[in-house]
Amino acid sequence: MSTTAHTLLPASAATGRLAAAWRRFRVSCIYWWRFGRGPDLDRPRRFTEWTQWRKLYDRSHSLAMLTDKLHAKLHFEAIAGPGLAVPTLWSGTILPIDPPAPLPLIVKANHGCNQYLVVRCPSDWQRARAASAAWMRGTYGEWLDEHAYRAARRLILVEPFLGGEGAPLPIDYKVYVFGGRAQMIQIHEARATKRCWTQYDRDWTRIGGADSAAVQPVNMVEMFRIAEACAVGTDFLRVDFYEVDGRLWFGEYCLYPGSGLDPFVPDSLDLLLGEYWSDARI
């Protein structure tokens, strides 16, 4: 009679533990490759560490559903009111032969991030049809363990291009909310070319990132108010907005900014945001 048989885990439990250990090892290795140091996943202090922790341990279904762009629009407008989310002109699995609305348009994946194309002419539409087919064949977030994207429906969306014909991509205003309080706004400029970003505090004082000539958005106070309302019940949520011709638009929610792999400049900002996240967990 074996003296150790009674201590063995069921096969399914053992497999689950091995898979969890492998995910933790993989997340740690990727973080080490990016930063030259390992993450503290048991006692996170940095924002980038907390993001890795969320990948591994936060399995909230309601939070995961916010990665579904169509669901996110409904969630946002149920809180902020109608007319603030960028309209969805069409959704489905295969783009039609002809655009469903006058150009310019933007085509994006409902279930991914940074999967979009601006359509300004008929040839752009054909490119979008090919690209969207590839988006539909693949999953998003698996290789960086961003498990929440599994909750998003695999669909393609068509939206109006904000700003109209000839306009550049609008500036992205990304509001970081910790424990229900907006602590930082990050702006993304020149997204189609050099893609640079700058971080500001609640008083529009620059606290990180590149020098920027951007002026304070007219609707910044309203962005903070709405973002805080949308993030109630979460330890951290990023809420993204656009401001076009003085009008506020909701873009999307984000659970894993930069997958927690973008260095902050200065490095102390990583620690400051991590402190906000730690306080929100308490």
User: For residue 21, is it within any domain?
Assistant: no
pLDDT of residue 1: 38
What whole-number distance in Å separates Cα of residue 53 and Cα of residue 40? 9
Q: Is the pLDDT of residue 187 over 90?
A: yes
Clarify whether residues 150 and 216 are in a common domain.
no
Mean per-residue pLDDT of the chain: 93
What whole-number distance in Å separates Cα of residue 168 and Cα of residue 164? 9
**Four-residue CA torsion sign, 227, 230, 231, 237:** negative
Domain hosting residue 95, numbered range: 87-161
* CA dist 131 → 95, 115, 128, 156, 177 (Å): 10, 9, 5, 10, 33
Clarify whether residues 93 and 196 are in a common domain.
no
User: For residue 9, is it within any domain?
Assistant: no
pLDDT of residue 3: 40
Clarify whether residues 66 and 177 are in a common domain.
yes
Q: Is the pLDDT of residue 115 over 70?
A: yes
Residue 121, CB-side half-sphere exposure with 13 Å CA sphere: 2
Q: Which of 5-9, 11-15, 47-51 is most confident?
A: 47-51
User: For residue 17, is it within any domain?
Assistant: no
Q: Which of 45-54, 139-148, 195-204 is most confident?
A: 45-54
Angle between helices 220-230 and 69-80 (to 10 degrees): 110
Q: Of the residues 99, 130, 161, which one is the last residue of a structural domain? A: 161
Q: Letter for the amino acid at 179?
A: G
* Residue 234 backbone dihedrals phi, psi, to 5 degrees: -115, 150
Model confidence pLDDT, tens digit, residues 61-97: 999 999 999 999 999 999 999 999 999 999 999 999 9
Model confidence pLDDT, tens digit, residues 206-259: 999 988 888 999 999 999 999 999 999 999 999 999 999 999 999 999 999 999
Q: Is the pLDDT of residue 26 over 70?
A: yes
Would you give the distance in Å from CA 212 to the centre of its chain? 22
pLDDT of residue 269: 98
pLDDT of residue 190: 62
Confidence band for 193, pLDDT divided at 50, 70 and 90 = low
Q: Of the residues 161, 184, 199, which one is the last residue of a structural domain? A: 161
Please name which of 267, 183, 187, 268 lies closest in space to residue 231, comparing C-alpha atoms: 183
pLDDT of residue 13: 77
pLDDT of residue 86: 97
pLDDT of residue 60: 96
38-46, Cβ contacts within 8 angstroms, sequence gap of 24 or more: 44/274, 44/277, 44/278, 45/271, 45/274, 45/275, 45/278, 46/270, 46/271, 46/273, 46/274
User: For residue 24, is it within any domain?
Assistant: no
Q: pTM of the entire structure?
A: 0.93
107 vs 12: which has the higher pLDDT: 107
User: For residue 10, is it within any domain?
Assistant: no
The tokens describing 230, both together, are 């949308």
Clarify whether residues 182 and 278 are in a common domain.
yes
Q: Is the pLDDT of residue 138 over 90?
A: no
User: For residue 221, is it within any domain?
Assistant: yes
* CA dist 84 → 16, 78, 151, 157 (Å): 42, 11, 24, 17
Domain count, the chain: 2
Clarify whether residues 262 and 153 are in a common domain.
no
User: What's the rounded mean pLDDT across residues 161-177?
Assistant: 92
What whole-number distance in Å separates Cα of residue 250 and Cα of residue 253? 9
Confidence band for 154, pLDDT divided at 50, 70 and 90 = very high
User: For residue 30, is it within any domain?
Assistant: no
Q: Of the residues 105, 138, 161, which one is the last residue of a structural domain? A: 161
pLDDT of residue 6: 44
